[in-house]
Structure 1
Amino acid sequence: MAAAAGSVWNANSWHWEEKSYTKWSKEYLQSHLGGLNLLENVEDFSVKILPTPTVTGEASVSVRKGKTILAIDLAVKMQFEALVKRPDAAEGSSRKCRGEISVSDVSAESIEDRDYTSSAKLIDVPLPEAEAMSSEERQKALKLVKGKCMDALHASLRKFIKDLQEAESNSERLQADKAQREAELKRMQEAEKEKGEEKKAIAEQQKLRDREMKEEAKQRAAAQPASSPQPTQVEGQGSVWNANSYHWEEKPMTQWCHATLQERFATAELSLLEGSTTLKFFNVKVEGEASNTIRKGKKLVIFDLAIGADWTATARDEAGVFLADSRGRLEISDFSSETLDDYQVTVQGDGKVPPQHRIDNAAKTELPEKIKVILSKFVEDLRARG
């Protein structure tokens, strides 16, 4: 076993230290097993693992007196697709079936001795008759999966243990990673400080603009005939005391705007990638102010809001079988009555593997137009309120 490399504080890796490798292990197995070819053109059959296997359990590495101790207890579930060539059809044409492989009790010792628990089974997926394997072909595919494919999978698990040991024992990499993390943290803190000061200045400027805008609105409303409404004005109705809504009256709408936007984003289910992926929002937060101003029966809608939310998206195939999921963050800024069509939408994704990157890219390209529909309806409803 390779020599251990503890943290920077742990000189010569002498003291007992335990480090979690659960996240690293899950990402490694998802990345290296997803899309793995287990069998290529053996007896006209080919088998590959579909993207984003499910990995559960824990993994950690402990060091003591320069020695490494691996503590791994993982389980992996993955779907596979088997193809068989059709000798009577055109080049490249094949029939297929799908199944599931489960591997449990995965540890460094069980991989070395190959005594972990593994199983494989076929699953029913609706396919056109011309594309579906016959019953005999399905059984032959399953037999190959339980035999030769398990050998290929075992080789990948052995490489996982080897790469985990190398990742832990590489002291130069750990030192470089630490230096990089410290540099990135310093840059982030400096950027956040600058951004915080910039945000504070912008907020003060915005408050000043809001006051000026409201004062100008009052002056325009008082000086302008009722027959010449402003572009953002709609018919309004004041309070009971305000006969014919003639007098200047400002109604706060901040609470309504916050509650309405939070509810609409939290309940939205948006479709991406031609319907194969469903995206939802959570942790929705709304900031800013809004009001409806009424004078001479006319309403002036004023608002300046910012919206932030986390999102999660799940992709499935035509049969509803899980393919991948990803998460990210949505930020909407400069959403105001002055910039109705010029607000800023920022979408970030946290994907680590290619199937998740595909979802992240779709969110970045498709979400802005879908967000526009939600915000347009919100503005319409805000203007319609008394």
Structure 2
Amino acid sequence: MSAAAGSVWNANSWHWEEKSYTKWSREYLQARLGSLKLVEDVDGFSVTTLPTPAVSGEASVSVRKGKTILAVDMAVKLQFEAQLKQDGNRKCRGEISVTDISSESVEDRDYTTSARLTDVDLPAAEAMTAEERQKALAIVKRNGMNAVHAALERFIKDLQEAESNSERLQADKAQREAELQRMQVAEKEKGEEKKAIAEQQKRMDSEMKERARQRAAAQPAPPSQPAQVEGQGSVWNANSYHWEEKPMTRWCRSTLEERFNSAELSLLDGSTTLKFFNVKVDGEASNTIRKGKKLVIFDLTIGADWTATARDEAGVFLADSRGRLDVRDFSSETLDDYEVTIQGDGKVPPQQRIDTAAKTELPEKIKDLLSKFVDDLRARG
């Protein structure tokens, strides 16, 4: 994947951003596949597509972490005309259908193609014989598809470059720099104002604490301070109005490590049990509260070794295997868009069967573990 440029707000094109290229792709394919020379004088036959191909499907270009990701699912129908110039200028018509067009299928040339003859009324002197028509169709299938494939390869290349060409990247960089300069000037101009607001807020917080202390001291028998309620700010933070940040890193690390270490996951319809060990969680997390609203922020990575044992219905040992699990980019911004890597060390078929099951079944089970963790993190104060 090549470099890409997202919107100006999308710094370094890091966040997922998708743009529709359906209209652009349809117009492109109609222009490139219409009036396309498929065959030039092969056994006397020449074949050209008519200028009105039918294009359907969708296409989009996404950027994520500065990379371009294509999503293409399109199909085309091309009408063609074959001419035989020997002994006159005889013709026949036909149709080419190309389906399952994607960036991967074009690269591997495994999209689906078909070609057939169509019935068109032509003067007897201009119409090919039945034998000539079949020969023309065979030439289209054998030679004509190369020109179609070349056009599709160019389409994918140009679609990729539509979001990643050097001119666009340079223009995007200049626009980002201009936006950054504008923000810096605005911050400088408002610096004193922001400083005054911060100092005023600090005084208000201090006065609030002092009044609370004085009220408590004036009571002959002061009641004990109420316990902090989960999901709210500190006791002094009335109605959780002021910005307050609570570190949650230690809780997140210990909770995830405990849950992964204690998890026993079932694979292969219950015949195999997988457990984690050497679990390590890195990163940071916090809960912030402002104006009664709570925001959960976290950016974590999880690494663990795993061992799995397969047994038959009677509990007799069949095989075991070991491997490695890594979860990267698990954050409050990406949520389900994290990266999961699963490796297995199996050397013989029974072990490799366990490894395959871990790679296919484990991601969904990890998703359940992490979803429960996020729910619990949000529920905490």
Structure ranking higher on relative contact order (CA contacts 8 Å, 6+ apart): 1
Larger Rg: 2
